[in-house]
Amino acid sequence: MGDIAVPYPWQQDYWGKLIGAEAEKHLPHALMFVGQQGVGKNRIAQAFAHYLLCDDDGKNSQARACGFCKSCQLNTAGTHPDLKMIEPEELGKAIKIDQVRALVTSIQKTAQFDGYRVVIIRPAEALNIAAANALLKTLEEPGEGTVLLLVTNSVSALLPTIKSRCQTVSFNVPAKEKVLPWLTPIVGDADQALHLLRAASDCPLKALEFLDSEWFGKRAETLQDLLAIQAGTMDPLRLAKKWLDYPILELMDWLLIWSVDLLKLQTGVNERVNNPDLLPFLTTLAGQLNSDSAISFGDKVGNVKRESMSSANPNKQLLLEDLLLQWQDA
Ligand SMILES: [Zn+2]
């Protein structure tokens, strides 16, 4: 059993608009939730699905699903027949055409209950071309009372034919002051909460992941290893091997944030660095690199991240070696 999903505190403005559109019967039949990973798009999609399916007449004045009606009970059990989740069968893989065909068939039948039917597709960029094409007609005319919620971290990876059939809702990275009242009690310390949030580029759920990961403790060591390569006391190939044990996407996120900080330091905006606790190391590095090197290193890191996310199973060791060799010459 789970709980009825509710939006995160920093999502109240978006939430008000969504439930307002429903109350005024202006709800589009296909919505695309767009935004960076870690801002809570999945949560608000699920909350909205639960809200739409809730049978309680007072739900709009409460601004949430009631949690008690038959529909809400089914949703907390994860078994509501009118809520369909379409996700890759394996993490990181594509959503297949068979999954979309089964969905299309099922929503041609009438709803089991007398209300909405909701389909959540996530991440929408995982739809392969065949699956996306099979979805187009349903996106255009899903049928009375059916709402499709597509969630994506990477709107640029979506086919234009999908995008054009959905109304986009863009979730920005929230302001710190909206997040800290939520994050600080979880972390238990105001300074530490602020520090995590900065290191996560203000993405709240990413900050939470950092809190949980042992990997976060290796951060300073990782930056020192980069310094050691610059100083010629560490072999790039040996470091690439060490980094093979680290989660590569998170590692690339660190490097990206650091390269932004290096540029900030080089252009004199010291007070706004994302990683103030690493300032001594970052300042040393910023003094050693020219700004072109910091930019081209950031580009390279972005490439490694994209290649790591591609389905082609890249050779991580080669990617890291290549990256660190470039760093050595920066
Ligand atoms: Zn309810």
Kindly give the distance from the C-alpha atom of residue 69 to the centroid of ligand 1, in angstroms, as a whole number: 4
Beta carbons of 280 and 299 less than 8 angstroms apart: no
* Distant-in-sequence, close-in-space partners of 186: CB < 8 Å, separation ≥ 6: 193, 208, 211
Kindly give the distance from the C-alpha atom of residue 13 to the centroid of ligand 1, in angstroms, as a whole number: 22
Same domain, 19 and 141: yes
How many folded domains does the chain comprise?
2
Kindly give the distance from the C-alpha atom of residue 124 to the centroid of ligand 1, in angstroms, as a whole number: 27
Kindly give the distance from the C-alpha atom of residue 36 to the centroid of ligand 1, in angstroms, as a whole number: 30
Same domain, 163 and 247: no
- Helix (H) or strand (E) holding 118, with range, is strand 117-121
Kindly give the distance from the C-alpha atom of residue 56 to the centroid of ligand 1, in angstroms, as a whole number: 5
Same domain, 105 and 233: no
Domain final position from 153, 171, 189: 171
Domain final position from 171, 196, 229: 171
Q: State the CB neighbour count (10 A cutoff) for residue 224.
A: 14
Q: Coil, strand, or helix at residue 81?
A: coil
What distance in Å separates the CA atoms of residue 194 and residue 105, rounded to the nearest whole number?
48
What distance in Å separates the CA atoms of residue 267 and residue 286, rounded to the nearest whole number?
10
Kindly give the distance from the C-alpha atom of residue 73 to the centroid of ligand 1, in angstroms, as a whole number: 8
Sign of CA dihedral 126, 129, 134, 140: positive
DSSP 313: -
Highest mean pLDDT among 1-5, 59-63, 178-182, 283-287: 178-182
Q: Which domain holds residue 223?
A: 213-329
Same domain, 16 and 164: yes
Same domain, 126 and 230: no
Same domain, 234 and 153: no
Same domain, 217 and 125: no
Kindly give the distance from the C-alpha atom of residue 67 to the centroid of ligand 1, in angstroms, as a whole number: 5
Same domain, 281 and 161: no
Same domain, 153 and 244: no
- Per residue in 46-98, pLDDT (tens digit) is 999 999 999 999 999 999 999 999 999 999 999 999 999 999 998 888 999 99
Kindly give the distance from the C-alpha atom of residue 324 to the centroid of ligand 1, in angstroms, as a whole number: 54
Kindly give the distance from the C-alpha atom of residue 52 to the centroid of ligand 1, in angstroms, as a whole number: 9
- Helix (H) or strand (E) holding 31, with range, is strand 30-35
Domain final position from 171, 199, 229: 171
Looking at the domain assignment, is residue 203 inside a domain?
A: no
Kindly give the distance from the C-alpha atom of residue 101 to the centroid of ligand 1, in angstroms, as a whole number: 30
What distance in Å separates the CA atoms of residue 262 and residue 275, rounded to the nearest whole number?
10
For the CA atoms of 13, 193, 204, 227, the dihedral, rounded to the nearest 10 degrees, stands at 140
Beta carbons of 225 and 239 less than 8 angstroms apart: yes
Specify the pLDDT at position 68.
Answer: 94
Residue 148 phi, psi (nearest 5): -105, 130
Domain CATH for 102: 3.40.50.300
Kindly give the distance from the C-alpha atom of residue 28 to the centroid of ligand 1, in angstroms, as a whole number: 22
Specify the pLDDT at position 29.
Answer: 95
Looking at the domain assignment, is residue 178 inside a domain?
A: no
Strand order in the sheet with 83-86: 83-86, 117-121, 146-152, 30-35, 167-171
Same domain, 165 and 28: yes
Q: Is residue 312 scored above 80 in pLDDT?
A: no
Same domain, 150 and 262: no
Q: List Cα–Cα distances, 189 to 209, 274, 314, in angstroms.
A: 16, 18, 40
Strand partners, 170: 34
- Per residue in 132-190, pLDDT (tens digit) is 999 999 999 998 899 999 999 988 889 999 999 999 999 999 999 999 999 999 999 88
Domain CATH for 223: 1.20.272.10
Residue carrying structure tokens 């081209």: 296
pLDDT class of 1 with cuts at 50, 70, 90 = low
Looking at the domain assignment, is residue 206 inside a domain?
A: no
